[in-house]
Amino acid sequence: MNPTFTIGDHEAFMDFALTQAQKSPPAGNKFCVGAVLVDADQGKVLSTGYSLEFPRHYKGDPGTTHAEQCCFIKIADAHDIPEERIHEVLPPNTVLYTTMEPFNERLSGNMTCATRISRLNGAIKTVYVGIKEPGTFIAHNDGQERLEANGVEVVFPVENWRYRITAISMTGH
Protein backbone atom coordinates (compact mmCIF):
# COMPACT_ATOMS: atom_id res chain seq x y z
CA MET A 1 0.00 0.00 0.00
CA ASN A 2 1.41 3.36 -1.03
CA PRO A 3 1.30 6.10 1.60
CA THR A 4 -0.58 9.39 1.47
CA PHE A 5 0.96 12.66 2.70
CA THR A 6 -0.40 16.14 3.25
CA ILE A 7 -1.03 17.75 -0.13
CA GLY A 8 1.90 20.00 -1.06
CA ASP A 9 4.21 18.74 1.69
CA HIS A 10 7.32 18.77 -0.48
CA GLU A 11 9.63 17.89 2.40
CA ALA A 12 7.64 14.75 3.23
CA PHE A 13 7.63 13.58 -0.39
CA MET A 14 11.33 14.34 -0.85
CA ASP A 15 12.11 12.55 2.43
CA PHE A 16 10.19 9.54 1.12
CA ALA A 17 12.18 9.70 -2.14
CA LEU A 18 15.37 9.84 -0.07
CA THR A 19 14.22 6.72 1.79
CA GLN A 20 13.95 5.02 -1.61
CA ALA A 21 17.47 6.19 -2.53
CA GLN A 22 18.82 4.48 0.59
CA LYS A 23 17.58 1.15 -0.81
CA SER A 24 19.85 1.48 -3.85
CA PRO A 25 22.92 -0.74 -3.66
CA PRO A 26 26.04 1.44 -3.24
CA ALA A 27 28.59 1.43 -6.06
CA GLY A 28 31.37 3.68 -7.24
CA ASN A 29 30.03 3.80 -10.80
CA LYS A 30 26.52 5.15 -10.11
CA PHE A 31 24.45 7.36 -7.84
CA CYS A 32 21.93 6.17 -5.26
CA VAL A 33 18.79 7.96 -6.43
CA GLY A 34 15.21 7.65 -5.24
CA ALA A 35 12.00 8.77 -6.92
CA VAL A 36 8.33 9.00 -6.02
CA LEU A 37 5.47 9.48 -8.48
CA VAL A 38 2.62 11.37 -6.78
CA ASP A 39 -1.02 12.31 -7.40
CA ALA A 40 -0.57 15.90 -6.20
CA ASP A 41 -4.33 16.51 -5.86
CA GLN A 42 -4.69 13.64 -3.38
CA GLY A 43 -1.22 13.63 -1.78
CA LYS A 44 -1.04 9.94 -2.71
CA VAL A 45 2.10 8.09 -3.74
CA LEU A 46 1.41 6.24 -7.00
CA SER A 47 4.74 4.43 -7.27
CA THR A 48 8.32 4.52 -6.03
CA GLY A 49 11.69 3.64 -7.48
CA TYR A 50 15.39 3.59 -6.80
CA SER A 51 18.55 3.09 -8.83
CA LEU A 52 19.13 -0.57 -9.73
CA GLU A 53 15.79 -1.67 -8.31
CA PHE A 54 15.26 -3.82 -11.38
CA PRO A 55 18.00 -6.03 -12.84
CA ARG A 56 20.28 -5.03 -15.69
CA HIS A 57 18.62 -5.41 -19.10
CA TYR A 58 15.14 -5.37 -17.53
CA LYS A 59 12.53 -5.63 -20.30
CA GLY A 60 15.19 -5.34 -22.96
CA ASP A 61 16.73 -2.02 -21.91
CA PRO A 62 20.51 -2.16 -22.45
CA GLY A 63 21.59 -0.57 -19.16
CA THR A 64 20.72 -0.40 -15.53
CA THR A 65 17.39 0.95 -14.32
CA HIS A 66 17.20 4.46 -12.89
CA ALA A 67 14.83 5.53 -10.11
CA GLU A 68 12.37 7.44 -12.31
CA GLN A 69 12.29 4.58 -14.80
CA CYS A 70 11.41 2.15 -12.01
CA CYS A 71 8.43 4.33 -11.02
CA PHE A 72 7.19 4.24 -14.60
CA ILE A 73 7.75 0.49 -14.99
CA LYS A 74 5.59 -0.18 -11.92
CA ILE A 75 2.70 1.92 -13.28
CA ALA A 76 3.00 0.23 -16.69
CA ASP A 77 3.06 -3.24 -15.14
CA ALA A 78 0.09 -2.48 -12.87
CA HIS A 79 -2.00 -1.48 -15.91
CA ASP A 80 -0.50 -4.02 -18.33
CA ILE A 81 0.54 -1.33 -20.81
CA PRO A 82 3.89 -0.30 -22.29
CA GLU A 83 5.79 2.32 -20.30
CA GLU A 84 5.38 4.96 -23.02
CA ARG A 85 1.57 4.80 -22.55
CA ILE A 86 1.40 5.42 -18.80
CA HIS A 87 0.22 8.97 -19.51
CA GLU A 88 -3.15 7.33 -20.34
CA VAL A 89 -3.64 6.14 -16.74
CA LEU A 90 -1.92 8.81 -14.63
CA PRO A 91 -4.08 11.28 -12.68
CA PRO A 92 -4.32 14.80 -14.16
CA ASN A 93 -1.98 16.40 -11.60
CA THR A 94 0.81 13.82 -11.44
CA VAL A 95 4.18 15.10 -10.22
CA LEU A 96 7.53 13.42 -9.77
CA TYR A 97 9.88 13.81 -6.81
CA THR A 98 13.43 12.67 -7.45
CA THR A 99 16.50 13.09 -5.29
CA MET A 100 18.69 13.95 -8.31
CA GLU A 101 18.09 15.85 -11.53
CA PRO A 102 16.90 13.47 -14.27
CA PHE A 103 19.72 12.67 -16.66
CA ASN A 104 19.70 13.68 -20.28
CA GLU A 105 22.61 11.43 -21.22
CA ARG A 106 23.21 7.77 -20.36
CA LEU A 107 26.56 6.07 -20.80
CA SER A 108 24.79 2.68 -20.85
CA GLY A 109 22.80 3.39 -24.00
CA ASN A 110 19.54 3.22 -22.05
CA MET A 111 16.87 5.87 -22.71
CA THR A 112 17.36 8.90 -20.48
CA CYS A 113 14.91 9.75 -17.73
CA ALA A 114 14.49 13.27 -19.16
CA THR A 115 13.31 11.64 -22.41
CA ARG A 116 11.06 9.21 -20.52
CA ILE A 117 9.36 12.13 -18.74
CA SER A 118 9.10 14.29 -21.86
CA ARG A 119 7.47 11.57 -23.96
CA LEU A 120 4.50 11.27 -21.58
CA ASN A 121 2.46 13.93 -23.40
CA GLY A 122 2.47 16.38 -20.48
CA ALA A 123 1.20 13.85 -17.93
CA ILE A 124 3.97 15.02 -15.58
CA LYS A 125 3.98 18.81 -15.53
CA THR A 126 6.28 19.28 -12.54
CA VAL A 127 9.41 17.48 -11.35
CA TYR A 128 10.65 18.27 -7.85
CA VAL A 129 14.40 17.70 -7.64
CA GLY A 130 16.64 17.31 -4.60
CA ILE A 131 20.01 18.16 -6.20
CA LYS A 132 21.57 18.78 -9.59
CA GLU A 133 23.63 15.93 -11.02
CA PRO A 134 27.16 16.57 -9.64
CA GLY A 135 29.00 16.04 -12.94
CA THR A 136 30.78 12.91 -11.74
CA PHE A 137 29.92 10.83 -14.82
CA ILE A 138 28.42 13.36 -17.25
CA ALA A 139 30.29 16.69 -17.42
CA HIS A 140 27.16 18.75 -18.07
CA ASN A 141 23.77 17.18 -17.48
CA ASP A 142 21.18 19.38 -19.13
CA GLY A 143 18.20 17.34 -17.91
CA GLN A 144 16.58 20.39 -16.31
CA GLU A 145 16.92 22.45 -19.48
CA ARG A 146 15.58 19.60 -21.61
CA LEU A 147 12.56 19.10 -19.37
CA GLU A 148 11.80 22.82 -19.25
CA ALA A 149 12.10 23.05 -23.05
CA ASN A 150 9.39 20.36 -23.20
CA GLY A 151 7.04 22.23 -20.87
CA VAL A 152 7.92 20.45 -17.62
CA GLU A 153 8.54 22.71 -14.63
CA VAL A 154 11.60 21.76 -12.57
CA VAL A 155 11.57 22.84 -8.92
CA PHE A 156 14.19 22.45 -6.19
CA PRO A 157 11.91 22.54 -3.09
CA VAL A 158 14.35 21.56 -0.31
CA GLU A 159 17.66 23.33 -0.97
CA ASN A 160 18.56 23.07 2.72
CA TRP A 161 18.76 19.27 2.27
CA ARG A 162 21.48 19.43 -0.40
CA TYR A 163 24.25 17.96 1.81
CA ARG A 164 22.05 15.17 3.14
CA ILE A 165 20.86 14.19 -0.34
CA THR A 166 24.38 14.42 -1.77
CA ALA A 167 25.79 12.18 0.97
CA ILE A 168 23.20 9.46 0.28
CA SER A 169 23.52 9.83 -3.51
CA MET A 170 27.29 9.36 -3.34
CA THR A 171 27.19 6.25 -1.13
CA GLY A 172 29.82 3.86 -2.45
CA HIS A 173 32.05 6.55 -4.00
Q: From residue 105, how far is each of 21, 28, 65, 113, 139 by CA, in Å?
A: 20, 18, 14, 9, 10
Structurally, the chain folds into a number of domains equal to: 1
Report, in angstroms and rounded to the nearest whole number, the Rg of the chain calculated over CA atoms. Answer: 14
Structural contact between residues 35 and 67, judged by C-beta atoms closer than 8 angstroms: yes
3 inside domain: no
CATH number of the structural domain spanning residue 15: 3.40.140.10
What is residue 172's predicted lDDT score, i.e. its pLDDT?
87
Least confident of 2-16, 106-120, 157-171: 106-120
Does the pLDDT of residue 58 top 80, yes or no?
A: no
Average pLDDT of 61-76? 86
Average pLDDT of 17-25? 96
Average pLDDT of 101-125? 84
24 inside domain: yes
What is residue 168's predicted lDDT score, i.e. its pLDDT?
94
Q: Measuring CA to CA, which residue among 136, 76, 74, 73 is closest to residue 100?
A: 136
74 inside domain: yes
111 inside domain: yes
* Chain mean position to CA 128: 9
Does the pLDDT of residue 57 top 60, yes or no?
A: no
Instruction: Give residue-wise pLDDT tens across range 117-148.
Output: 999 999 999 999 999 887 666 666 788 899 99
Average pLDDT of 76-86? 95
What residues make up the domain containing 79?
10-169
Does the pLDDT of residue 34 top 70, yes or no?
A: yes
1 inside domain: no
